[in-house]
Structure 1
């Protein structure tokens, strides 16, 4: 693997400017995963790293920079990745979505972060939005060495989403399921990620199409297409059931106007995860990425990292469980 310029610089004693960002790749399965590494100012010792993954079909270009920059300013590295088959990462066919593959990608990203010079392998924090939030819960429940979880509007209960879809658009649900079965049988097809209520698309609740449009913006490699195979099994995808297995502190947020993910599941995780802290904001599902609310959430996340010893070069101490709930 190519040695990044900044790693070579550290070995030579160069001074690195805060928030210098490097394009890197690492391997997951047979493909290369694209990532940005945001670096803090030089520290006296190894620094924590926040491993960041975006939600369903979204890419690292879609509003993650403000969060990564906030972590770097606070003294942590941030590794921001695209899942395989999406964004700048490799993998064919394009638009393929498999829960297991994305779990493997996030695990590979965490392993890669732990291997980086200057990163404290015992202070790796997983950050996930929406579907990736649920994936992060699954990974953390299986890896006792995860030091912390930051979950923004996590998708924790696929059954609740299926029930909501069937109630709103039963015909669309049937049509999507038929295409999902074909996709899992090896006949790769894509459907739109989002559309208006009643359209044949994966996410058609009121406001979701507008949310994707606002969050992606100019220059994003996001495509409004995704393989539908996940929808044949999504009702069984319920990371909320793993809440009690989490042994790291958890920062979790939900939006008061979020219709995309289950508020009940988020509340349940906050109640059952031993070290969880719940934050509730007057936002919809996508506003954390295209409104000033994102700055507020980023600030709260940095404060939480500081309180748990998960930013800066200070030696890590095991945080106490028993988080606090905020209105």
Structure 2
């Protein structure tokens, strides 16, 4: 059974409390922001990014608008349990989403029929797959999602040097073999300059620390990931699942994004039965930076329409009828 364990001293300014819920053989850590309107937004960070730098900026504003929020760390990331650290199999991350949704549905102030998912980058692809195959959710927001496909692979390859790409592949292969022998993970940086061995070397990936942690308040964020996990993502294509998403789906893309190129996400949105596509200027992290207010307005409008049933979104509003 999923359970909550508020941590001593973990309540912050009356807005949120730290809770934990079971996933697999361990527990995920999460921030719970109790809301007032009966609806809940479940959130997680991009690949290997803890919940605080990844979700704080949006979670606070959703909560200010009356929504409950459950923002969680994947197993092996942040304050969640799980060993080895920073080894992030997609299958387990999808299971963490399902566990988080079940936990959110049991929160005392939440209507289980009014739960939305929010994620960006690689996790923006995860929420599409979760909605396509798993529990019914009322709405899904995929912000600058990496939905896979040849365009994403070509973009990544086009901003890396051949020798570094070979070294990265070798490190990922060695890490995968080492895992079979019980060795510690071989880590690579999440971001780097072309020519370095890193998960991504696209022009906008370096904006991450400035967008997610501009004040350096999260020194515990290890901006690394196991090489085996990064290598496997080359073959991950959640965009193919959009035709099976029966919930309203908001896909927000940025036209100059080179980390998650907009083309595949636009195509994926067009295949979804109930998708809304919003295109904005800027690079991958623009919704956290210069386009933040615009992105927030779009997302709050979407949440109010599909979780509260009207544009105003005040407390006590009725849920929208099912699609």
Instruction: Work out the CA distance in 2 between the residues paired with 1:119 and 1:211.
Output: 32
Task: Return the match for 1:304 from 299, 302, 305.
Answer: 302
> Displacement, 1:144?
5.1
1:122 aligned counterpart, secondary structure: coil
How far has the Cα of 1:213 moved from its partner?
A: 4.1
Cα separation, partners in 2 of 1:253 and 1:205, compared to 1, 3 Å: same
Aligned residues: 304
In the TM superposition, what are the counterparts of 1:157-306 in structure 2 within 5 Å? 157-168=148-159, 169-185=161-177, 186=179, 187=183, 188-217=185-214, 218-220=216-218, 221-289=220-288, 291-306=289-304
What's 1:87 paired with? 78
Measure how far apart 1:215 and its partner are: 2.0
Find the aligned partners of 1:134 and 1:19 in 2 and give their Cα distance: 32
Contact 2:151-2:263 within 8 A present in 1 as well:
no
With over 3 angstroms needed to count, the CA separation of the structure-2 counterparts of 1:301 and 1:167, relative to structure 1, is: closer
RMSD: 2.2
**CA shift at 1:308, angstroms?**
2.1
CA distance in 2, matches of 1:293, 1:118: 32
TM score, norm. by length of structure 2: 0.87
Aligned-residue offset at 1:3: 6.1
Supply the distance in 2 between the matched residues of 1:40 and 1:232 (Cα, whole angstroms). 39
Q: Which runs of 5+ in 2 are unaligned?
A: none
Whether contact under 8 Å (2:147, 2:265) holds in the other structure is: yes
| Structure 1 portions without partners, runs of 5+ | 6-16, 321-327
- Give the Å deviation of 1:205: 1.2
Do residues 61 (structure 1) and 52 (structure 2) align? Answer: yes
Structure 1 stretches of 4+ moved >4 Å: 1-5
1:27 aligns with 22
Distance 1:303 1:75 in 2: 13
What's the TM-score once normalised by structure 1's chain length?
0.86
Offset, 1:189: 0.9
The verdict on how the C-alpha distance between 1:51 and 1:309 changes in structure 2, with shifts beyond 3 A counting, is: closer
Name the CA shift for 1:2/1:105 in 2 (closer, same or farther; >3 Å): closer
For 1:3-35, what per-residue CA distance to the aligned partner results, in whole angstroms no more than 9, with x for missing partners? 659xxxxxxxxxxx9972111111212222111
